Amino acid sequence: MPRVAAIDCGTNSIRLLIADVTVHDDGTRALDDVHREMRIVRLGQGVDATGRLADEALSRTREALVDYAAVVRRENVVTTRMVATSATRDAANREDFFSMVRETLGVEAEIITGEEEARLSFVGAVGDVDPAQGPFLVTDVGGGSTELVLGNWDGVHAEITASQSVDIGSVRITERCLHTDPSTPDEMTEAEKVARRVLDEAFAVIDASSIRTWIGVAGTITTLSALAQELPTYEPAAIHLSHLSREGLDRTAHRLLEMTHEERAALGPMHPGRVDVIGGGALVAKVIADELTERAGIDVLTVSEHDILDGIALSIS
Rg of the chain, C-alpha, whole Å: 18
pLDDT at position 86, please? 61
Higher pLDDT, 88 or 204: 204
Q: By C-alpha distance, which of 64, 75, 100, 31 is closest to 315?
A: 31
pLDDT tens digits, residue range 275-311? 999 999 999 999 999 999 989 999 999 999 888 899 8
Instruction: Report the CATH fold assignment for 127-307.
Output: Nucleotidyltransferase; domain 5 (3.30.420)
Cβ 4 vs Cβ 75: under 8 Å: no
**Ranges of each domain in the chain:** 3-111, 127-307
Please confirm whether the linkage preceding 269 is cis (ω < 30° from 0): no
Mean pLDDT across the chain: 89
In angstroms, the Cα distances linking 45 to 36, 57, 171, 197, 278 are 24, 7, 8, 23, 15
Within a 13 Å sphere around the CA of 105, how many CA atoms are in the beta-carbon half?
A: 28
pLDDT at 127: 81
- Asked if residues 121 and 148 have their Cβ atoms less than 8 Å apart, the reply is no
Nearest of 83, 72, 79, 71 to residue 108 by alpha carbon: 83
CA nearest 298: which of 248, 245, 228? 245
> Residue 203 in contact with residue 161, Cβ under 8 Å?
no
Separation of first and last alpha carbons in the chain: 9
Which residues neighbour 269 within 8 Å (Cβ) at sequence distance 6 or greater? 223, 226, 227, 231, 232, 233, 234, 235
pLDDT in tens, 51-109: 888 899 999 999 999 999 999 999 999 999 999 876 677 788 888 999 999 999 999 99
- Which pLDDT band, with edges at 50, 70 and 90, does 25 fall under? low
For 76, the 3-state DSSP assignment is coil
Fold annotation for 3-111: Nucleotidyltransferase; domain 5 (3.30.420)
> Please, are residues 188 and 255 in contact by the beta-carbon 8 Å criterion?
no
Q: Could you give the percent of the chain with pLDDT greater than 90?
A: 55
150 pLDDT band, cuts 50/70/90, is: very high
Dihedral of the CA atoms 153, 154, 159, 161 (nearest 10)? -60
Q: How far apart are CA 31 and CA 22, in angstroms?
A: 7
pLDDT of residue 226 exceeding 80 = yes
| Secondary structure letter of residue 55 according to DSSP | H
3-111 shares its CATH topology with 127-307: yes
Instruction: Please give the pLDDT value at position 268.
Output: 92
